[in-house]
Amino acid sequence: MSYTITSVAETLNRINKDLFIPGIQRPYVWTQDQIIRLFDSLMRKYPIGTLLLWDLPKQSRGDWEIYRFIENFWEGDIHNEQLDVGPDAPCTLVLDGQQRLTSLLIGMKGTYVVRKKRKRRSNADAWDEVALHIDLAHAPEGEDEVDDEDSPLAEHYRFAFFDVSKRPKQNPGELWFEISFILSAEDEQSLARISRSWIDDNTSLNENQKSVARANLSRLWEMAWKDQAIAYFTEFSNSYDRVLDIFIRANDGGTRLSRSDLLMSVITLRWEQFNAREETENLIKELSELLQPKRSIQREFLLRCALFLNNLNFTIQVKNFTPSNISRLEENWDEVKNSLLFAAKWLRSVGIYGEALSGVNTAMLLSYYFHHVGISTDQATLTEDNAERIRQWIITLQFQRLLSLQINSTLSDFRNMVRRLPTGEVDFPVTEAARMFSRNGRQFGFSAEWVNRYCDLEMKSVESEKLLSILYEEDLAANRLRPVPLVQPRYFMPEELRRAGIPDALHPSLQQHSNKLGIALALSEDEASQYYQLPFEQWVQTLTPDQVARHRLPTDIVQAGVGDLPEIIHQRRKLIAEHLVGRMPEVKIA
């Protein structure tokens, strides 16, 4: 292994010519602020850490996936361009330092494309392409915020990104200079020409500001062309195991790689049919767009799913990623991917995504069921009854937080339960799932306690519409049903309650039910229109016996008035309990 120091300009001249990225590297993730801190460190002659390179032997070119560095980066993009390096072309791979080198490339030669606030990603006008600039007229020792002067994280030079399509506005005392221009000054004569045109001939700056600008421009040029700021080791080994070990250890400090990142490195080296890195990144992107989970989907989740759907031990441990297991993951990757996407699309279609999705483990369970029964392609269909059975099961599962504890045990038990289904059975095994939870001391379904929690949930909560659809046994959104309270909120005002003859002492206990799920109904648009047009006493008289039964209302509701609210609320809760508890599958533990 040899040690070398060189300049920023010389290093940039190698990037994407003979210096590339191996497929085991993660995508570029640095923010604009991190790029600015890197350049501020270089301007202040701070060390930025040693890079680790590997001179790839010619005979190994076909064994490694090789990528270009990103020069013009789009925020949120996870892709580098893959290359086919010729057998005789020089090729050195960066094992440690990709983020720093990419940041140098973006700052000194490229751009950073960012999405405007409150703009959709698909909108062509939603993006700004910006380049890094330095305010040459800003004195690094003369910062306004003196409280930060002693902080090692405070920038002493003034950097900012500006739109490349127009020159930055030069306020009084400012001289914003695009960093990339300094690479055109290969010698001091070229530097002098830039200084004359930008500083000496600038009539908007006073002499003191020009002096500061000359000093900053000179320092920027030295940083790029003279400073031996880049230090790197180069490894020349032919051993994959040694290089992989070096890579893992090099990336195990500072910003640590997760265990799944390290294991993905091993998979990337061994997969032959698929590009493991691109496959997982693309799938993460697709699943994220479909499910919009509260927490971002990580690569560890995909690895667990791949192991889980292949009936392997799904803990993220090195012992579970043997060569034979890795080969099995590759062989069945398409099926795993299709099952996950089918589950995500189905969850999206029934409105269980974003805030309504408690966690991605729900998709993991569902994808295993789809995978096992052979429903995992866009051409596959679910019967309406089975789809509704699954939808209600998931909503109940999430409401009872049954995936929040003992998750590995629950996943294993669920997988075993599905595997025991008779051949050709495709209906979702609700009863068997309830029995599975009961064996572990947890109840699936609605007991008196869970009915009370249901009734006391606020109508505007994330879960309310989905839980109300359990009571109606149909997807409210799909059938264009609108949740409304049985009694409009205005009837819970003190003056209305007094007018109805309800004693003041009962007002607080009644009012706490005014926005709760215990009095929620699901009405069609026509029903809702009539509901809002009529006083409560007249509206209930329009209800048919079928509507009374469907809404789980007392049979004498049609004669009721606001004065009967205490009894109506009491009876409605009893009817909800009878229906929900009665729907729980009978479970017998052998």
The full DSSP string for 339-395 is HHHHHHHHHHHTT-SGGG---THHHHHHHHHHHHHT--STT----HHHHHHHHHHHH
Q: CA torsion angle for 189, 193, 194, 198 (degrees, to 10)?
A: 150
Task: Please say if the pLDDT value at position 231 is more than 70.
Answer: yes
pLDDT at 300 > cutoff 50: yes
Sequence ranges of the domains in the chain: 1-255, 258-382+392-439, 451-583
pLDDT at 142: 45
Q: What percent of the chain has pLDDT over 90?
A: 66
What per-residue confidence (pLDDT) applies to 29? 86
Assign 584 a pLDDT band (cuts: 50, 70, 90).
low
Pair 292, 57: CB distance under 8 Å: no
Give the mean model confidence (pLDDT) for residues 396-400: 93
- Mean pLDDT within 101-120: 87
Whole-number pLDDT of residue 121: 55
Strands 92-96, 19-22: pairing is parallel
End-to-end CA gap in the chain? 66
Query: Rg of the chain's alpha carbons, rounded to an integer?
Result: 32
pLDDT at residue 223 tops 70: yes
Q: Both tokens of residue 204? A: 């908007």
Question: Can you give the pLDDT at residue 590?
Answer: 42
500 has a pLDDT exceeding 60: yes
What mean pLDDT do residues 59-85 have? 81
Per-residue pLDDT tens for 324-351? Answer: 899 999 999 999 999 999 999 999 999 9
Q: What is the pLDDT of residues 408-443, one digit of tens each?
A: 999 999 999 999 998 888 899 999 998 898 888 888
Residue 575 to residues 324, 392, 511, 554, Cα–Cα distance (Å)? 56, 19, 20, 8
pLDDT value at 217 more than 60: yes
Is 134 in contact with 216 (CB distance < 8 Å)? yes
The C-alpha atoms of residue 157 and residue 139 are separated, in whole angstroms, by 7
Distance CA 36, CA 38 (A): 5
Question: What is the model's pLDDT at position 558?
Answer: 93
Distance between CA atoms of 219 and 213, rounded to whole angstroms? 10
Hey, how many other C-beta atoms are within 10 angstroms of the C-beta on 527?
A: 19
Cβ neighbours, 10 Å, residue 451: 19
Distance CA 37, CA 300 (A): 30
Q: How far is CA 123 from CA 111, 119, 128, 505, in A?
A: 19, 7, 12, 57
* Residue 271 predicted with pLDDT over 60: yes
pLDDT > 80? residue 255: no
How many Cβ atoms from other residues are within 10 Å of residue 260's Cβ? 18
pLDDT at 102: 96
Structural tokens at position 352: 């269980």
Task: Supply the mean pLDDT for the chain.
Answer: 88
